[in-house]
Each structure stands twice: as C-alpha cells, then as structure tokens.
Amino acid sequence: KIVVLDGYTLNPGDISWEELEKMGQLTVYDRTKPEEVLERIKTADVVYTNKTPLTKEVLEVCRSIKFIGVLATGYNIVDVEAAKTLGIKVANIPSYGTAAVAQFAIALLLELCHHVGEHSDCVKRGDWSSSKDWCFWNHPLTELAGKTMGVIGFGRIGQETARIAQALGMKILAYDAYQRTELETETCRYAELDELLVRSDVITLHCPLFPSTKGIINKETIAKMKDGVLIINDSRGPLIVEEDLRDALNSGKVGGAAVDVVSTEPIRMDNPLLEAKNVIITPHIAWAPRESRQRLMNIAADNLKCFLEG
Ligand code: NAD
C-alpha cells in the first residue's frame, strides 16, 4: 500500500506515476493537512512526501510503514532520527534537479542584475524611456564579469551554479564543511566563511538546512559583507534570519536579495522580507521544470525497487 501525501507539486498532468503504480496499490493525494496525515498513512507500507512533515509522533503510531520516500533533495521535513529508531528506511532524491536549481539560482542573480521583469513592465506601461526618467535609473544594471561569487555549500548544486557563474566571467570562493581540493581551479578556490563574506560581491546559498547552517546569514555575518552585496537563496529559508536581511536591504547594506525559499512556506503575510526593498521572492519552484519532475518520479520508483529487492 503506497500513499503519496502531496502529489500536487509533481502532477499537473504532464508526468507519469506508472512506475509506482506497478509496485503496489497507489493512492495519490493532492495535498494533506497536518491533521489528515495520520488517517491517510496509518495502514500504509510506503509513504511519499514532498513537503508534508512526518513527525516522530505520527511515525510512532503508524507501525506498518517500512519505507518513506522524500520527493525532494532536502529531507528536513522527516524526523529521520525517529524513523531510524523505528526501523523505517528513508530515501531522499539527491540529484534529480541539480541543473534546474543551479539554473534558477543564476536566473535569480541575473534578474537582480538586470531587472528584466521590471523593465518589461515599464515598456508595457508605455514607458520606453525619456531623458529625465530612464527606467534604469530606478533599476540600475550590474555587470558580473570579474566579480566574485561566494558559494556557501559546494555540493552538487553549488558546483553547478559556480560552473555557470564562471562562464559569465565570475571568480568563485567556495565554503563547505568538507573540502575536495581537486575541485579548485584558477578561478575557483575554497575559503573560510569569514573570507568569503568579506570578499564576495554575490553570495549564494547551497548548503542543506542543519542546526549548524540555520541562520548562517544573520546580522553579524551580514555586517562582514561588502556594501551592496547581492544574496541568493534557493536552498532552504531558515538559512537566513529574515528580520536581519530585511533590515540590511532597507538600509542599503545589502544591494539586493532573491529567494526561492522562506522560513515558513507557504509564505506568511507577516514575513519580514515582504517589507524589504530590492527583494525578489519566488514560491519554491527552482526544482520544478517538467524534465526534473519526471526524473524525480523515476528515481523515486527506483529507490523503492532497490528497497524491495533488499
Ligand atoms: P549536496 O549534498 O550535493 O551539497 C550540499 C553541500 O553542503 C555538501 O557539499 C555539504 O558538504 C555542504 N555542507 C553541509 N553542511 C555544511 C555546513 N555546515 N557548512 C557548509 N557546507 C555544508 O546537496 P545539493 O544537491 O547541492 O542540494 C543543496 C540544497 O539545495 C538541498 O539541501 C536543498 O535544501 C536545496 N534544494 C532546493 C531546491 C528548490 O527547489 N529550491 C531543490 C533541490 C534542492
């Protein structure tokens, strides 16, 4: 018995659930509210979740669950320690969306540098340009070649983002808990966090959400950054203390920020970033091109197959 708690993110009708259907009796719910989780999975053998949390309290009651598939790379929504104690295997999907998420980080960066959407809106409003009020005075453009990108978390997505940034002429400083010196080149080297903060023109976050990374962008770390630094986050919202980023954006210390993820999703209307200047916020969609979603589905089925085959 296979239950998918929140298939809506995967299934606007353009990808197939066929591989999972072959392996059991499949029920796909569009979304599941926290109070509905228990009822829906209490007799399931296999549970898939994308964003619906699976807590210790729920897992302790649902004793038939043998396998949890997280339909995502970040697996912080599942209490993995509790699952381990209960003998439930948990599998995430690490590499389905590396290209998509890196591409999105670069898209966010380019939008901060070029404001394509704003300029297009100006034109559509009939405002092509005029000598006293060129729209680029309000939305100045920034060149990236020769500038330095600091990449916090130099894993799959961090490395791919750095590869594209180097093609734009940027130099890379990488910070990671584990260093692989073979990844260093003439234009890319590891640095301590403090050096990265001080020297980067752009800082992009690609580390997982762990206790050690929660709030890594805060008042103190922002104070060390260059004035006008640009910050990108398409990893996890709680990596940033949003009140501190709001203050730094509004004071101009941070020149712009673009985030695909926020501390509480869906975003709350009292999220501090909604009061910030020069911020772009997208609704956690970096992973979602059709190609990535189909890859995600195929790997999810492969993971279950491996589990069933021992
Ligand atoms: P990865 O495991 O390949 O890379 C993560 C890197 O972070 C690793 O190199 C690891 O050593 C490093 N790291 C771990 N702890 C650290 C610490 N304390 N300080 C610095 N670095 C540390 O993962 P990935 O595939 O590159 O994905 C990165 C993150 O991207 C995921 O954890 C997830 O949160 C996020 N993500 C977001 C989306 C989206 O749609 N926005 C989609 C997929 C993944």
pLDDT digits (tens, 9 = 90+) for 86-119: 999 999 998 899 999 999 999 999 999 999 988 8
237 lines ligand 1 (CB under 6 A): no
58-64 CB contacts, 8 Å cutoff, 24+ apart: 59/83, 59/86, 59/88, 60/86, 62/38, 64/1
Whole-number Å distance, alpha carbon 139 to ligand 1 midpoint, is 31
Q: Is 139 helix (H, G, I), strand (E, B) or coil?
A: coil
pTM for the full model? 0.90
The Cα–Cα gap between 225 and 119 comes to 28
Tokens of 291: 């190609």
Tell me if 174 CB under 6 Å of ligand 1.
no
Ligand 1 center to 239 CA (angstroms): 11
Q: Which residues of the chain have pLDDT under 70?
A: 11-12, 129-136
Query: Which atom in ligand 1 lies closest to the alpha carbon of residue 104?
Result: 41
Mutate to test the pocket of ligand 1, among 98, 163, 176 (most ligand atoms within 8 A of CB): 176
CB 214 within 8 Å of CB 242: no
pLDDT of 136 reads 63
Nearest CA to ligand 1 atom 42: 287
pLDDT value at position 130? 52
Distances (CA, A) of 90 to 22, 43, 47, 59: 20, 17, 10, 12
What is the whole-number distance in angstroms between the Cα of residue 102 and the centre of ligand 1? 11
Give catalytic residue positions: 236, 265, 284
212 lines ligand 1 (CB under 6 A): yes
178 alpha carbon to ligand 1 midpoint, in Å? 12
The amino acid at residue 180 is R
Q: Which atom of ligand 1 is nearest to the CA of 98?
A: 25
Phi, psi angle pair for 249, to nearest 5°: -70, -45
Number of helical H runs and strand E runs in the chain: 12, 12
- 94 CA distance to ligand 1 middle (Å): 9
**Ligand 1, atom 32, residue with closest C-alpha:** 208
Measured CA to CA, the distance from residue 96 to residue 184 in angstroms comes to 25
Element (H, E) at 161: helix 156-167
Is the CB of residue 204 below 6 angstroms from any atom belonging to ligand 1? no
Residue 113: CB partners within 8 Å, gap ≥ 6? 141, 142, 143, 144, 230
Q: Is the CB of 260 under 6 A from ligand 1?
A: yes
* CA distance linking residue 282 with residue 116, whole number of Å: 15
